[in-house]
Amino acid sequence: MRLIDFHCHPDLYNNNFKILNNGNKIVFMTNLPVLFERYYPKYKDSTNTFLALGYHPELIEEYPNYFDIFKRNLYKTRFVGEIGLDNSESNKKSFEKQLKIFREIMDECNKNDGKIISIHSRKAESVIFEELINNNNNIYILHWYTGALKRLLDGMMISKNIYISVNLDMTTTKKGNDLIQSVPIDRIVLETDAPFTKESKKRYDYKILEDTIAQIARIKKSTLEDVTIQIQANSKKILE
């Protein structure tokens, strides 16, 4: 196994998204269930691109009635994302709607054990962790986590199924460095969040993942080889 990008948005490159054919794999987030339906015929048999069924919290105000479409597609994939909650200032007015849909999604995922779920948790991690700790049947990957570090570490102590995905931009901030330094290496996987990070706006290639691992090794004061082996092992464990 090479490296896996557990969170990216290929469709937002407007069909200019190219992946080098070097054995790496991606988890392709969708922001609405209708987009999953659009891309599913193309990717349903792919061994390198895993299509995730999503319902982005920032879109729930504009698209409030898509849960039934989400539900009818859930059996088609192990991967769910991007889902979650966003309680930032611009999304506060839709938070109760978001929470209702998030809980419905979690209920449905727990009827179908073994889902790998990428979660958006901006300014809403306290509610997110209540749900994750009470629903321990799936793998939960907190995407670009910026919440309270103690709450994350406490959640990881309670549930072995909680991970974070780290992108290159996170390695350049103090908060990101503190997070990476504190989280056990066996709970870290990679993401690009392409095209929303500095490097991925310009390009998408395998080197972004390699550069991210190099920065994690620097922060962890570990060797590149050891960090690479561990992150590959984490990815393999999640996919089992």
Tell me the β-bridge partners of 186: none
At residue 1, does pLDDT exceed 90? no
Taking Cα atoms as reference points, which of 129, 2, 18, 9 lies closest to residue 81? 9
At residue 16, does pLDDT exceed 70? no
* pLDDT in the model for residue 66: 97
pLDDT tens for each residue of 120-153: 999 999 999 998 887 778 999 999 999 999 999 9
> Domains of the chain, with CATH numbers?
4-239 (3.20.20.140)
Average pLDDT over residues 27-38: 97
* pLDDT in the model for residue 78: 96
* CA 121 vs CA 52, 56, 124: distances in Å: 17, 11, 5
pLDDT tens for each residue of 167-206: 999 999 999 999 999 999 999 999 999 999 998 887 788 8
Which residues have a Cβ under 8 Å from the Cβ of 56 and sit 6 or more positions away? 31, 32, 82, 83, 84, 120
pTM of the model: 0.95
At residue 21, does pLDDT exceed 60? no
At residue 23, does pLDDT exceed 70? no
pLDDT tens for each residue of 64-122: 999 999 999 999 999 999 999 999 999 999 999 999 999 999 999 998 878 999 999 99
Q: Quick count: other Cβ atoms within 10 Å of Cβ 206?
A: 16
Confidence of residue 22 (pLDDT cuts 50, 70, 90): low
Q: What share of the chain is helix, strand, coil (3-state, %, to 5)?
A: 50, 15, 35
The H helix count followed by the E strand count for the chain is 9, 8
Confidence of residue 19 (pLDDT cuts 50, 70, 90): low
At residue 18, does pLDDT exceed 70? no
At residue 35, does pLDDT exceed 80? yes
At residue 43, does pLDDT exceed 60? yes
DSSP 52: P
At residue 210, does pLDDT exceed 90? yes
* pLDDT in the model for residue 112: 80
